[in-house]
Amino acid sequence: MKKLALGILGSGTGSNCRAILEQIRAGKLDAEARLVVADTFNAGILNVARDYGVPNVYLPPGKFRTRLEPNVEMELVRLLQEASVELVVLAGFMRVLKEPMLAAFPRRIINIHPSLLPKFPGIESWKQALEAGEKVSGCSVHFVDAGIDSGEIIAQREVPVLAGDTAESLHARIQVAEHALYPEVIAQFADA
pLDDT for 1 equals 67
Q: pLDDT per residue over 107-140, tens digit each? A: 999 999 999 999 999 999 999 999 999 999 999 9
Which residue ranges form the domains of the chain, and what is each CATH number? 4-111+141-156+178-191 (3.40.50.170)
Q: Phi and psi of 46, rounded to 5°?
A: -70, -40
Q: How far is CA 21 from the centre of its chain?
A: 13
Q: 3-state secondary structure string, 48-88?
A: HHHHCCCCEEECCCCCCCCECCHHHHHHHHHHHHHCCCCEE
Residues 62 and 104: their CA atoms lie apart, in Å, by: 21
Q: pLDDT per residue over 20-64, tens digit each? A: 999 999 999 999 999 999 999 999 999 999 999 999 999 998 898
Residue 91 above 70 pLDDT? yes
Return the H-helix or E-strand segment holding 32. Answer: strand 31-38
CB 104 within 8 A of CB 93: no
- Taken in order 55, 1, 188, 26, is the CA torsion positive or negative? negative
Full-prediction pTM beyond 0.75? Answer: yes
Which positions are catalytic? 113
Residues 93 and 9: their CA atoms lie apart, in Å, by: 6
